[in-house]
A and B are shown apart, each in its own frame.
Chain A
Amino acid sequence: MSGGVKRDRDGNARAKSARDDAPRGQFHDMFETFRDELDEHYDRRERIIKVSRDVTALSKKIIFSLQRVKNLHAEFPPNIQKEVDSRLAEISTLLNSIAADLTPLNRQRYSYSLRCLEELVEALSFAHYLRHQTLITPAETQAAVPADVQISPFDYMYGVFDLFGELMRFATVTTAQRGELVGNDEGRNILGDIHELGCAYEMLPEIPTKDYRQKITAMRQSVVKVEKLGYGLVVRGSERPKGWVPDMKDDAPDPSSP
């Protein structure tokens, strides 16, 4: 192999380690190929991480909007619906911009960087619950994702895990406003729902990851908080004036409470 001419580096920032006048080693070509391949991978991951961060933020904003909804089984107020729609449109643009990066091989490769999908599932499932008081199915979730990106069963499962927190907040706020747990005409209310969903999760085989343990702990806390709401209504319900909020500081003694 002839030594000699060193090519220009293509403008990447690590100029200090460039040894532009060193002779080319015998493995130079091989490493150049690797560099190009790795750059491709790093760039792709970078794009995905950026999009993921933005989609997470937008999904959280959707959830904040939805927390301002006051009733189950009703159309969302126009202003809230508008906020949700415009954010879903933004999410759609963002996700579609990386759809090409997510070939079947790469979908799993970057699954950690794509955790925004859990957040999105959370938002979609919450919206679905508010409209129908039912749990969104994986198929409905996939249909509601405004882009050509596959939602895996685990994205769905972890996303719905986070729904518990939203249900808890929604239950707390609406109970304070109305003095009763929201529900349907047939007596199924949010406490029963969160119980049922919680039991469904408890029945699943445990997954031995830190992530799973954290989520299930958070889920149990949310369930307990809604149970306390129900209890507060029964015990003090007759005395309580409209607008009085059950004292959530009751949770303080629980050391694992965040």
Chain B
Amino acid sequence: MNNQLLIGYDDRHTFLNRLSGSTKLLCFVGLSIIGMMTYDTRYLIGIMIFSLIVFHFSKIKYRDVKFVVNVIIGFSVLNLVMVYVFAPHYGVSIYGTEHLLLGSANHYFNLTTEQLFYEFNLLLKYTFAVPLALIFLMTTNPSEFAASLNKIGISYRVSYSVAIALRYIPDVQNDYRTISLAQQARGFEMSKKANFMTRIRGGVQILLPLIFSSLDRIEVISQAMELRRFGKGKKRTWYMAQKFQRNDYLALAIVALLIIIGIALFKVNGGRFWNPFKI
């Protein structure tokens, strides 16, 4: 059976795999924040190229992430279109000039270079963050996941519940399948033969047993955890946590440098936007 999640960890024997999970999480979060804040196109292109190069080194195969990437592209395009539909003049108001490409200035839907440029910046933001997120998820051992969340300051209870939730996804999927088939055997037509409403109603029938069986699981696992002293202390250690090594400090230093450049550019540009129209 396919127990892989949507995005699966695999040891691909690269330096990225050997970095500690916390390093990767910190780098990912740090770069994402600065990338989301800045609208300096030069900077965004720079970190996009950086993230694509790192992605190349991670040896993640495109076909492993095809589905996720397609979904993200779909949503990004939709998002860009919606930004245009709801605020076609936003670029103009940011950059202060108006270079018309299509339509006239009085029309709501016209196209300006400023708007295109603004949306191009948005596109860059999406593209640079996606490879980073994929790298983090696909090169971090799930066992290390909770440890790294905990290390960056999230309470270990929350970190562990995230890890446990991940671990239970395949079980719940199996449960869902079994229950669904058992219900079909009782006479709920759930196959494509039935119409949409019938299938929705069938889905609700499955939900009740699924919830009950999941609640049972939760009760047992929380007892098992309590019996092994989970929640005893304010802190806990992690068997799988990795100590910071030279490469970790190196990676953090590079990312810190990138972030400092980003912040410095705020000063240079006198704000978050780099304006090529104002000469």
Chain A complexes with chain B: no
